[in-house]
Amino acid sequence: MTHPWNEMELMVVVASRLLEDGRLVVVGTGGPCAATMLAQKTHAPRLIAMFEAGGVGPVLEALPISVGDSRTWHRGLSTGSMAETMSALARGQVDYCFLGGAQIDPYGNLNSTLIGSDYHRPKVRFPGSGGANDLASHAWRTLVITPQDARRFVEHLVFSTSPGYLHGKGAREAAGLPPGTGPYKVVTQLAVYGFDEDTCRMRVESLHPGVTLDDVRAATGFELLVAPDLGQTPAPSDEELRILREEVDPDRLFIGR
């Protein structure tokens, strides 16, 4: 089935709808920043973006290419530092953060460090944590945008970089992480996922247009729970796509991928 949008556009639109007006979200570059900008230009004009390098509340007139890009401070509320961003996290002031990774497991734990059995000589080495562990540990709600296939959605991570619900309900709190924090939603090109309240395992909550449960299960390397009220993701509207293409990313730096 063909659609008038590509997979990245779909993921950005869906992620943008999860952000509430008046909240504070720590974002990186790419899809998360595009989703934040789209939310600000549609339903959440008072949404505040914070960047790891210290920019808070900039007027995002163009997509930054890094978290230290000068555009992350443009006409902002404040200019700080990475230490101040991490301090805000530790104080419980960050409502949402965006993360991604090479692997995610049923409890929302993320691997962005390596693939392979030998840490010192891995098959592939990724950038590592950066601030991801801090974000996953202290933000109230963690949002994940990632492509989905059975190599990424795995039963066991080869390296745990950023904590989700660790090994189940109560595990975060037992490890000393703030109660009430943790993974919130996972957005892929196939569906939107949440986490079961009793087990803290990932469950599919909404299928994207044209996607079936069989498609989702074929792209998942673990037993996937299904929400009792499984729904269909509303398709991107013409206006959402127009704003995304003309105002958020007119050069198609990210939505063109």
Q: What residues act catalytically?
A: 52
How many angstroms separate the CA atoms of 23 and 10, rounded?
A: 22
Residue type, 142: T
Number of H helices, E strands in the chain: 7, 14
CB atoms within 10 A of CB 174: 10
Our measurement of the distance from residue 219's CA atom to the centroid of its chain's CA atoms, rounded to an integer in Å, reads 18
Q: Alpha-carbon dihedral of residues 92, 192, 150, 227, nearest 10 degrees?
A: 100
How many angstroms separate the CA atoms of 19 and 228, rounded?
A: 24
Cα torsion 139, 34, 158, 165: sign: positive
**Spatial CA neighbour of 173 closest among 213, 137, 202:** 137
**Spatial CA neighbour of 182 closest among 226, 138, 146, 144:** 138
**Backbone φ/ψ region at 166: left (φ over 0), alpha (ψ -120 to 50), beta:** left
- 55 touches 72 (CB < 8 A): yes
